[in-house]
Amino acid sequence: MPKIFLTGATGYIGGAVLTRLLEHPLQRTFEITVLVRSSEKVSLFNRTVGKKHNLRAVLGSYSDLDLLKELSAEADVVFACADADDLAAAKAILNGIHDKYSDNGVAPILIHTSGTGVLSDSSDGMYPSSTIYSDLNISQLETLSPDQPHRNVDLTLVQADSKGYVKTYIILPSTIYGFASGPLVENGLQNPRSQQIPRLVDVGLARGQGGMVGKGKNWWGNVHIDDVADLYLRVFDLLTEASPPPDFAHGRAGFYFGENGEHTLYAVGEAIAKVLSDMGKGSPTPMTFSDREIRLYFPNGTSLGSNSRCRAERGYNIGWRPSRKTQDMLASVKAEVEASLSQ
């Protein structure tokens, strides 16, 4: 039975990936271990999901490096769906994987969550970028600075793959939208909402007006949560195919963008402004966040004004078929506003 270790099970992405694994036709052949920070949710996982599936929840977090190493050393496949920027945690996972490889000489699989924030610039919403990255153009990706968001972890994984003891597949979602669904959400185990659009919605509600950084001229890709979860599972399923597609790569070439359309920040701000205006809050035209508002609502800084443009060509070439597009993302704004108001 293949042993799977997954982090981020209660999160938006990790929970969606875990739901796909629990629905998988071969699920009865899996042994799944998930790392969960809350003792209450550990108990709930083991009482509900664990009884129906071959799953155990273990109490711990990315701060528990010895535990990360131990659980990774037990796994054939690791899904890392928690903090994309925690280098110490990534190294602990790799150390565990190295121990597994030393035992049997078979390189385990690491499917790691990064993000297209690695492509971001400093445009502050003032201009679009003409640079569009392809996940098939490895030489272009290798021009990215090691100082870019997520990049130090990504490079560490690629280096580990080059040593032969692990096969790394790095998935880089763009702006994810939509509500996660399924038994984990229904049982209160998984966060059902994304970050970027709900954050803009909450700021719009707080200031009584939809807005954007600068002029909102910057571009980002977007992808629905169900579609990006399908990308993880497409990579997973291809691991056992005798003749996978030529572009199913790991290591240096193993980058997979999650994208199925792109949008300007102005378009998102306008969609929020229109919904709020229909409720009697502000103008239907989005208004730029002031410097004071940026400091107030985004105290740790924000990449919302950056450009992050990409094309998910590798995913498409390996058979990933996302169905939701930018118009679906913009249409989802109303439900996000309603969800924020109901909290």
d(CA 227, CA 197): 17
The per-residue pLDDT for 226 is 98
pLDDT digits (tens, 9 = 90+) for 309-341: 999 999 999 999 999 999 999 999 999 999 999
| DSSP code for 292 | H
Domain ranges in the chain are 3-342
d(CA 309, CA 135): 11
Confidence tier at 1 by pLDDT (50, 70, 90): confident
d(CA 201, CA 248): 37
In the sheet that 31-36 helps form, which strands lie side by side, from edge to edge?
A: 55-59, 31-36, 3-7, 77-80, 109-113, 167-173, 255-258
The per-residue pLDDT for 300 is 86
- Residue 15 near residue 176 (C-beta atoms within 8 A): no
d(CA 34, CA 55): 8
The per-residue pLDDT for 117 is 97
d(CA 184, CA 29): 20
Q: How many CB atoms lie within 10 A of CB 278?
A: 11
pLDDT digits (tens, 9 = 90+) for 180-206: 999 999 999 999 999 999 999 999 999
CATH number of 3-342: 3.40.50.720
Taking the model in full, what pTM does it have?
0.97
Q: What is the mean pLDDT of the chain?
A: 97
pLDDT at 301 over 90: no
The per-residue pLDDT for 50 is 86
